Structure 1
Amino acid sequence: MTLPDGYSDIPTGKIAAVVTHLEMTAPPARRDDPPGAWSLRKADALALDWYRDLFRRVGEEWLWFSRLRMTDAELAAIIQAPDVEVYSLVVDGRDEGLLELDFREPGQCELVYFGVTASLIGSGAARFLMNRALERAWSADVRRVWVHTCTLDHPSAVAFYQRSGFRPFRRQIEVADDPRLDGSAPRDAARHVPIIE
């Protein structure tokens, strides 16, 4: 279905976002790490509570909700799959960033989730995390690394991905139930997206 030009109504209780898909088909030029005391930790034997906590702390303000609506079995089937890797950005002994790479499709790596907690935005931590993400992704036998972001995410997300070497290739509209109305996210999350009941 193609949306017509102009405005399209979104039903009450829903949210809508413009999703931009970006990709790279060759490793980009390496960018220097910014100064900072960060490290990367691979999360083996993933505990679902740990994952959900970090997912919330990184993504709540941007209305990340899909993983919060999953049952334990659904979530475990994804994040504990052999070709899915989850990492945390560690700062002063605390997990403050999330990186999830999905190698399940041969020849590709999807950067499924990527972000840092609010206190680290603008600190260089995301650049450090992206450098590690690209190193790991391109160290595998892949021809393509891709990611998607949307208008609910940080306003600089698309530009950050483009500076990292990704190029946009597709745009979609995503409509979903507002996670603040069913308790998946707190009602005061994402103040930049008004609730319409």
Structure 2
Amino acid sequence: MKTDNPILPLGYSDMPAGTIATVVTCLEMRQKPDLPFTSAEDSLTLRHWHQPDLEEYRELFRNIGAEWLWSARLTMSDERLASILNDPRVAIYILKDSGRRIGLLELDFRHDNECELAYFGLVPDSTGKGAGRFLMNHAIDKAWARPIERFWVHTCHLDSPSALPFYKRMGFTPYKIMVEVLDDPRRSGVVPKTAAAQVPLIDL
């Protein structure tokens, strides 16, 4: 639908040097979906990660998200990050495969009557093997075990191409599209310059 006063002008817009832009899709579910049970490898275990060590958390965050240019928690001050991770309304889980840390699940209940799937991901060599479905089944169960009315998540085109279809299969429905402009974290060294080869690095 055409609008007379678009937030962004129609057509192309130049980006400031050192920045990247991404299209963000917000999705939600208003009730717990009736999903079929799927088996998982016996080696997979999920445990609550109570007040994680900041550097251990950042290491897992980086291992999972560098290829998708996750950077927010890597640039956050220790004080700010600790205030989130230690908040009793934020539930953090770690997925292990035979004792190895392969996945992160973070549920944010800080807003009344809703839960945000704040972070969800696997290390690259653990995708496509059923671990994501296992982790999401637990995410849905744990979110809807609380008295919420909405469970929501956002993803963007910097994420894996399979992320959006996966969320939809798991019962989320898109409801809003946004554009996010951010500093390219590869330029500052927050993530390696070789990360996210699918996103051109214009190093001016």
Give TM-score scaled by structure 2 length: 0.94
**Which runs of at least 4 in structure 1 moved beyond 4 Å after TM superposition?**
none
Gaps of 5+ in 2: 1-5
CA offset digits 1:84-138 (Å, max 9, x no partner): 0110111010110000000010100000000111111111100000000000000
**Whose radius of gyration is greater, 1 or 2?**
2
Supply the RMSD in Å over aligned alpha carbons. Answer: 1.0
Match of 1:19 in 2: 24
Match of 1:75 in 2: 81
Match of 1:138 in 2: 144
2:186 maps to amino acid: R
Shift of 1:174: 0.5
Confirm or deny that 1:120 pairs with 2:151.
no
Match of 2:44 in 1: 38
Cα distance between partner residues in 1 of 2:195 and 2:132: 21
Contact 1:41 1:89 in 2 (8 A): yes
1:153 maps to amino acid: D
Shift of 1:34: 3.6
Cα distance between partner residues in 1 of 2:86 and 2:200: 35
Cα distance between partner residues in 2 of 1:49 and 1:93: 19
Contact 1:61 1:190 in 2 (8 A): yes
Cα distance between partner residues in 2 of 1:22 and 1:93: 32
Give TM-score scaled by structure 1 length: 0.97
Cα distance between partner residues in 2 of 1:89 and 1:97: 5
Cα distance between partner residues in 1 of 2:12 and 2:173: 27
2:81 maps to amino acid: L
Cα distance between partner residues in 1 of 2:40 and 2:51: 30
Question: What is the percent sequence identity of the aligned residues?
Answer: 50
CA offset digits 1:154-173 (Å, max 9, x no partner): 00111000000000001101
Aligned length: 197
Gaps of 5+ in 1: none
Cα distance between partner residues in 2 of 1:52 and 1:70: 10
